Every structure is written in C-alpha cells, then in structure tokens.
Structure 1
Amino acid sequence: MLDRSSTPLNALLRRRRPGHSLEAPFYTSPEIFAADIEAIFERTWVFVGVEPDVPEPGDALTVDIGANAILIVRDDDMAVRAFHNVCRHRGARLVHDEKTTVGNLVCRYHSWTYNLDGDLIHAEHMGGDFDPKCHGLKPVHVRSLEGLIFICLADEPPEDFAEMERAMAPYIAPHHLRDTKIAFQSDLIEEGNWKLVMENNRECYHCGANHPELTVPLFAHGFGFAPEELDEAERAEADRYAALVRSSHAEWEAAGIPSRMQEHLDDRISGFRTERLPLDGDGESHTMDTKAACRLPLGPFSSAKMGGLHFWTQPNSWHHFMGDHVVTFSAIPLSAGQTRVRTTWLVHKDAVEGVDYDLANLIEVWTATNAQDAELVGFCQKGAQSRAYEPGPYSPHTEMLVEKFCRWYIQRMSEHFDVARAAA
C-alpha cells in the first residue's frame, strides 16, 4: 500500500465539503493519481470493452490499467477470459497489439507458450524439475454483463457486481449486445483528470450551451432543471416531458422492456444508474434526424421508438442502448492530467455498411459531443491548476449526480486508506 503519511491526501479526504467540487490536488497531483489507481482502479469492477471486441476464438484485446497490462481473450469454448499480460518467465509483455488474433499466446522473448486457458504448454531448456503447471498466466477476474466486459484486479473483487447484474440484465438483454458487431470505435485522449471526465458525464447542466447535436434527440429537461426558473412555456414543456416519461415507461414495461429508473451511484461499491428515456422528434435513435441509424433492429421490438436506455457504472463507464444501435464509453486514466475515452458504436451483426446504415450518420452525434466534452474537460483541468481555483458549489437541480459520483469516490478512497471522515 502507498504511504500517505507525508501527503495531504488524508486531510483532503477528511475535509471534503459536500455539495462542492473537489480540491485541486484531486485533479492535479500525480501522487493522488497513483492513489486513485490503487484504491479505485485496482479494487473495483472496471469496464474495459464489449464481447464483440473479441468475437471469435483466439481474438484478443489488451488494456492497461495504471502499470497493469491486461489481456482479454476468447477461448476455444467461446468463453471470455482475462489474464495479466505478463509472461511467467521473466515478465515480458506477451501481446503487444491492442487487438489481434492468436492461436496460442507466444512470448517473443524466449518463446514460452500458453494456450487460451492460460496454461503453460511449452518452455524449452527448463530442466527436469520444472513444473509447467506452476507457471500458467495469472488470471484476472472478468465478468460479462450481457456482453459488457468488466475486469477487477483485486484478489477478492466486490461481491455486489452480482447485484448489479441481477438488476441490469433484464434492461440490457432485449438489445442482444452479443449479436452485434463493432461498426466504429474511436479513442480520444482528453487533457483532463479522469474524475473531471466522469463529473462532466454525470450532468447535463452544460448541454444546452455546448451540445447542439446531442440536444436534438435528448430532451432538455431529461436530467434536471430549476422549476422556479421556468417561464410558462418552459413549464408546459417540462410537464409534457414528465407525462411522456410516465406513459412511455408504462408502455415499454407492459411490453416486457424494463424502463424505470434504478439508481445506486453512491450506496454500493459497484455503483450504477439506469433509466430508459423517450427521445425527441421521431424518437428512434441518437441521430440528427432522431430516426433509426440502422435498418436492422437489435431485438424483437414492437416499435422503433424504444427510447434510449442509459446505463452508468462507477468508476468509468456510460452506455446508451437504442432499438437500432448501442454506444458504449469507457474512461481509462493515463496520468493525473490525461484520460483515454473509448467510444464504440455497435449495430446488428448482419448489418452492412452503406446498405443498412450510413456510418457518418451513425456516429455524428457522439463524435461531435465527445469533442465538445473533451474541450470542456480541458478547460476545467487548466482551471484546477490555477492558484485562483477553489471548490465551487454544485447545482442542487442539475448536478446532483456529480455530487453522488464525488461522494462515491471519497468513500472508496477513505475506506481503502482507512481515513475517518471529519464531521461535516
């Protein structure tokens, strides 16, 4: 465990002011970044990809979590497995490509060879006393939630993943994620701390002024507003939206499609939130004309107007499931001031680009939104480095979920480093 006796982390955790953003070192300190990796990313369930990232036996995906190199493979029985991407001989990295296809896993250094179950099956010149059974790849805990792949680096991972899975599987299953393919995948390096990336995602206070594309399919009142500030026309629109949510939920759930909100962002280690919300306009998908981007639906839906199911997980993901496509997002911290955001667009596995979907139309809304968010996160990162920065108050109407993220983060860090919170 990292020694915190000579750092301000303990004091910062104890004096965190509820309802306000975090103090600057949480966003700028390399030492606190290392503590984040230790307490958060090496202890919780982290979203790293989707099963269509490794669709066939031998397909492999690599991801780095801090200094930890992880390898995710599809084995010959079609199971998804995860291992430390480290040869058991002298520690060389086994797979160097982000995505590849292998027969066996062969270390380039001395040709130690492992099968897709992680067993060492070939190691020359090791002598008669050498037991290959003692030198298999070190496994990493891996779970697939209806096709969403999560890993945990802890020896004993949080058990409450099962609770999230029981709650969420009925919501996600109708979209048949395992029967999709990746239409497009992009990586964006945001110049900001991973917590700023997540805080930005957990509110839409900024959406009206910054996301003209996103606010075409999404209602302005979907993620909070101050009722006392609405004029008569705005109040009528808010009332119309609330009525549409109620009627849509009733209709979808009557058809066997779970839709109502479930929220456990700050009361579980494996925190999550979900709700299926109606879309504006024609209400079919996250596109500029709000119509479906792909001609082939993902499931046996009775209508193209299935809204958008959002699913957020702590610490690092958010997802949108529509009737015609899915968009997944992962935020992987790279340094105190950089975060990799990976966005993956998925369509029905039989869909043909240029026939069943137009790629530019499919990715337009979130490509623009991601770039806008990256710029905003960069602004905040630069601001946190200024001597003028101090924690500002959250809006109780539109940033309540940001507060829940920060509360979850402070709780995880405090528990890991055994910090007693000061009385508020």
Structure 2
Amino acid sequence: MFNDLEAVIAPIETARGLPNAHYIDEATFAQENKAVLFGTWAGLAVGADVPENGDAKPIELLGLPLLLIRDKDGDVRVFQNTCRHRGMILVEEPRKIEGAIRCPYHSWCYSTKGKLVATPHVGGPGMNTHDAVDNDTLGLIEVPSHIWRDVIFVNINGNAAPFEQVHANLIARWSEFDQPMYHGGADSTFQLAAKTNYKLAVENYCESYHLPWVHPGLNSYSRLEDHYNINEPDQYSGQGTYVYRQFEGENGTRFPDFKGLSGKWDEGAEYITVYPNVLLAAQRDHGYAIILEPKSINETLEHVHIYYAAPKVDSTMRVKNTALWKEVFEEDIFVVEGMQRGRYGPGFDGGRFSPAMDGPTHCFHAWVAQRILDHRGSEAVAAE
C-alpha cells in the first residue's frame, strides 16, 4: 500500500489514482479519516445552520458527536456533544438554548460558551459543589473551528496549522468576494444522497472533462473549451469558466452583483474544492457551498447552500435558481455512484489521468495520499 500511495503522488503523466481500498475497505478508510477528515480543516456545516444566538444543532462526523452552537454573543462554536460527567449526549435535536445547555441525565449545565456552570447535588442532596469537582477544568471540549464564506471548518485533532495560513492562497485568490454573503433561506438549501464515497464527489466536481456527456444542457452554453483547470498542488483545485451565464427572471431581471468586482467576473466564474470535503462557487451574483458529509465508506450526503449578494432577492427567481442547480447536481449522482460500484473491480489499479484534463483530480488524489503518508510517518515516530 505504501508503494501504491507513492505512485499516486507521482507526476500526473505516470501517476495512478488512489487504490480501491480507500473506497471499499473499512480499515483503510478509517486510517485515511484520521489523516484527512480529522487531521485537516474539514467542512462541518454553515453559519446559517445556527442563525440566531442560542441556536444549537447536533452533528455527527463519522460517529463523532459534535454540537454546533451560536453563543450568547453571536460567536459560532463547536463542542463535543458530550457531558463531562458521565458522557451523556447533551443535545439530541436542533433547538434554541434558553439559558444553559442542560444534560438530561444529571442536569449538569454549561453556558453557551462551554463553561460548566451548575452541578446539582454533586456533593450530596442539596449540596451543589464538591471540592473534587473543579468546574473550571470540566467545561465542554471545544473543537477548533473557523468560518470562511459562511462554511464552518473544524480541525478535529487540533494539530493543523491555522486555517488562514493553510488556505492563504485561496483566500487571496477570492479576496474580491470578501464581503457579506446572504443565505437565501429555506428555499435555497437542499440535500442530495449518493451511494458513493465522498472522495468521488470531490473528484467529479474538480474537473470539467465530463461536461459534454453528463451536463449537456450546461455544456450547450458554457462549453468544455470555455473552461480552464485550477491546479494548486497540496492546496486546492477545481475549474473555471470564461462563459458564466447569469440566471434571468422575467423581463431579463437578474440578481444583484457583489460589489466592486473586477472585469474577470463579468462573464467568468470559478468552482473550487477546499480539501477535503467542501465544494465552493464564486460567481458575480451568487455562490454556493456544498458540504460533503461522509455517512459511511459508500454513502455521502451533500448539503447544498446558496448565497446572494443582497439580503433580499426576488423569491420567484430564487426558487427557480435553486431548482436549476439541483438539476445540475442531480445529473452527477449516477456518475459518482457508478464509480463507487466500479471500485469493487479487483483489476482496477486506481486508474490513469489525462495530463491535459485531469490535473485538478490528480491534485486531490496526491493531497490525500500525502496526508496519509505523513500520518503514517507520525505514527511510526510516536511508536518508537
């Protein structure tokens, strides 16, 4: 397997893709997750999931119970959704926290900032303190998090470099969009379930090679030859187009543009994967974020959120725009599911890459492979 991963990070002309085991073998996938989903900045949710102070939403990431909450001061935080007393799950369903987060088991209570604030009867009936219970050291376990373009990224193991450092290049690339973005609301979000490993959804999104056959409608006006590859090895990858056609409502009405954009964005747009599991779009009048939630080794739930440059846009146009994007993304389902089934073919060695067309996908494969190799090296050192 070590040699197989070395082959993945080879130059694209000779490289092979990730071996089948990374898509169908549970033990291999579990090790990969430690290195990739838990060891880097993975997408968890969006700020719009907890729009008001006190809003809380429980989320599981591959079995890890997490609690997303907007605290009393409006800051978004991510905690382990586990009481520090006996390990009880604190919040079972999305809800508003009124006052404190109360454990339903023994009523230990935490502030929305994670501080342990009450321990009823901990010292005996009617005694709410005990010298052996130090509230200051028994707050909720907070997971490092960072918000960019409303996406909440988390670093589960806490060992990654700061998000702003890791993604400095991408942040600079899209710096013109460093301005308010407004979630379109309930009619601007949807979910798509796919029987596939989440990495295959990333691989498909990275490239435009498949457009003529999978997205003939889109390709009719934004053709394959109108696209370019975005290859940033060890950082991110994706595709761009020189022919972005704005959605129009009745009488040619369009969504308002983001302010102060350069001419590049008049007819251009970019679609980038923030490794390992976030798919983003930058367009003059709206954008979207897709959080890929790996439910299992061969099940992925895609959480799609659409954003606009103004807090209020035409509702009829907004609904139609959501329907159009849903149609486009649904066209990819059979492809990513087909690739998942194909990975059970024992003769498949990870495949080959077109040096001209598959650069973005190779960048992703090489990034995953290098993270795994680095993780194995760290484990080997720790074991000495």
Moved more, 38-47 or 192-201: 192-201
Matched position secondary structure for 1:334: strand
**Residue-pair matches, total:** 364
Q: CA RMSD in A?
A: 3.0
Q: Structure 1 pair 170/59, CA: closer, same or farther in 2 (3 Å)?
A: farther
Contact 2:271 / 2:279 at 8 angstroms: preserved in 1?
yes
1:60 and 2:24 equivalent? no
Does the 8 Å contact 1:265/1:314 carry over to 2?
A: no
- Aligned equivalents of 1:39, 1:209: Cα separation in 2: 34
Paired amino acid for 1:307: G
Q: Which amino acid aligns with 2:147?
A: S
Residues 192 and 338, structure 1, Cα contact 8 Å, conserved in 2? yes
Q: Of 315, 322, 332, which residue of structure 1 is paired with 2:293?
A: 332
Tell me, yes or no, if structure 1 residue 13 matches structure 2 residue 5: yes
1:170 offset after TM fit, Å? 6.7
Structure 2 equivalent of residue 211 of structure 1 = 215
Q: State the one-letter code of the partner of 1:84.
A: Q
The percentage of counterpart residues that share the same residue type is: 23
- The one of 43, 50, 53 aligned to 2:46: 50
Q: Report the Cα distance in structure 1 between the residues aligned to 2:350 and 2:238, rounded to whole angstroms.
A: 28
Matched, 1:319 2:280: yes
Paired residue for 1:202?
206
Q: Is the 8 A contact 1:83 1:138 kept in 2?
A: yes
**Alignment pair present for 1:384 and 2:379:** no
How do 1:148-297 residues align onto structure 2 when only pairs under 5 Å count?
148-159=151-162, 161-165=164-168, 167-168=170-171, 171-172=174-175, 174=177, 176-182=179-185, 183-216=187-220, 218-223=222-227, 263-266=231-234, 271-273=235-237, 277-280=241-244, 283-285=245-247, 295-297=255-257
CA 1:160–1:347: 2 relative to 1, 3 Å: closer
Could you say what secondary structure the match of 2:372 adopts?
helix
State the match for 1:409 in structure 2: 368
SS of 1:284's equivalent in the other structure is coil
* Aligned-pair CA distance for 1:84: 1.1
Offset at 1:298? 4.0
Q: What letter matches 1:400 in structure 2? A: G
The one of 337, 351, 354 equivalent to 1:395 is: 354
C-alpha distance in 2 between matches for 1:173 and 1:48: 25
- Distance, in Å, in 2 between the alignment partners of 1:302 and 1:198 is 28
The Cα shift of 1:413 comes to: 0.3
The match for 1:140 is 143
Once the 2 structures are TM-superposed, how far is the Cα of residue 414 of structure 1 from its aligned partner?
A: 0.6
**Contact 1:214–1:365 under 8 Å retained in 2:** no
Q: Is the 8 A contact 1:217 1:288 kept in 2?
A: no
| Counterpart position of 1:85 | 81
TM-score, normalised relative to structure 1: 0.76
Aligned counterpart, 1:101: 96
Are 1:118 and 2:78 counterparts?
A: no
Instruction: State the Cα deviation string for residues 317-356 of structure 1 (Å, max 9, x = none).
Output: 121122322211121222221122211112356325536x
Determine whether 1:299 maps to 2:259. Answer: yes
Structure 1 position 164, deviation (Å): 1.7
Which secondary structure does the structure 1 equivalent of 2:31 belong to? Answer: helix
- Say whether the 8 Å CA contact 1:94–1:106 is kept in structure 2: yes
* Deviation sequence 1:371-395 (CA, Å, 0-9, x none): 2212111111111112343332211
Q: Residues 25 and 102 of structure 1: is their aligned pair in 2 closer, same or farther, counting only changes over 3 Å?
A: same
Q: Which amino acid aligns with 1:404?
A: C
SS at match of 1:110: coil
Deviations 1:262-317 (A, max 9, x none): x5332xxxx2247764334xx335x799x77x634443558893632433211111
Opposite residue 24 of structure 1, the aligned amino acid is N
User: 2:331 aligns to what?
Assistant: 372
Match in the other structure for 2:382: none
Query: Residues 212 and 51 of structure 1: is their aligned pair in 2 closer, same or farther, counting only changes over 3 Å?
Result: same
Aligned equivalent of 1:418, options 359, 370, 377: 377
Structure 1 pair 377–146 and aligned structure 2 pair: CA distance change class (3 A): closer
SS at match of 1:409: helix
3-state SS of paired residue (1:111): coil
8 Å Cα contact 1:326/1:345 also seen in 2: yes
Q: Contact conserved, 1:181 with 1:349, CA < 8 A, in 2? A: no
Cα distance change of structure 1 residues 156 and 376 upon mapping to structure 2, 3 Å threshold: same
| 8 Å Cα contact 1:21/1:391 also seen in 2 | yes
Q: For residue 55 of structure 1, report the CA deviation from its aligned partner.
A: 2.2
SS in 1 for 2:212: helix
Moved more, 329-338 or 52-61: 52-61
Gaps of 5+ in 2: 124-129, 379-384
Unaligned runs of 5+ in 1: 1-8, 226-260, 420-424
Change in Cα spacing, 1:415 to 1:92, as seen in structure 2 (3 Å) is: same
Q: Contact 2:228–2:239 at 8 Å: present in 1 too?
A: no
Distance, in Å, in 2 between the alignment partners of 1:393 and 1:15 is 11
Distance 1:111 1:306 in 2: 57
Letter in 2 for 1:197: A
TM-score scaled by structure 2? 0.84
For residues 393 and 272 of structure 1, do their structure 2 counterparts lie closer, same or farther at Cα, with a shift above 3 Å needed? closer
Residue type of the partner of 2:165? A
